Amino acid sequence: MDNQKFPTNDVIALELRAGNRYAYQFILNQFSPALCFFAARLTGEEGVASNIVEQVVLKLWDERKRFYSLAAIRDFLYASAREGCFLFAKKLQPTLKDDLTWLAIWQETESYVQREIIRAEVLRQVSNNIDHLPDLLVSNTHSGLRPHLF
């Protein structure tokens, strides 16, 4: 799916709201690798990260009617992935049953979480920009293959 189908970010969001599966797939293609990277950084487990992201993208479809912009979708995806990572971490520490204790622990790591969101987003945007380089520039790289960031 190319960007010609969705000329602006808000059109993508509106198409998703309308139930357009191509818009949904476009969003998944844009964000899933970055979300997996982000969740793996927080959990330390790629398999767990994939499961968390799978649940997040299913939730996106279920709640698609609430989004009016790609920025809102992005924020929802990262917040939902963060929550999934939080729940995973909480299950690993069954002795800490108090939600307030968990909230305090999680708040201490909030700056780390924000850095990881920024890292994932920068890599996603660089990867997307590489996708839009003219074929001539990409073919002149050492291997002739597009570098993968994720």
| Structural domain contains residue 72 | yes
| Structural domain contains residue 147 | no
Give the domain range for residue 18.
Answer: 3-139
Q: pLDDT tens across 88-107, in order?
A: 887 877 665 566 666 666 66
Task: Give how many domains the chain has, as a whole number.
Answer: 1
Residues in the chain: 150
| Structural domain contains residue 24 | yes
| Structural domain contains residue 148 | no
**Which of 5-9, 16-20, 88-92 is least confident?**
5-9
pLDDT surpasses 80 at 147? no
Q: pLDDT tens across 76-86, in order?
A: 999 999 999 98
| Structural domain contains residue 150 | no
The whole-number average pLDDT for the span 9-13 is 87
| Structural domain contains residue 149 | no
> What was the pLDDT predicted at 28?
95
| Tokens matching residue 47 | 């398999």
| Structural domain contains residue 58 | yes
> What contacts 24+ positions apart, CB below 8 Å, involve 52-59?
52/81, 52/84, 52/85, 52/88, 53/81, 53/84, 55/80, 55/84, 56/80, 56/81, 56/84, 57/28, 57/32
| Structural domain contains residue 145 | no
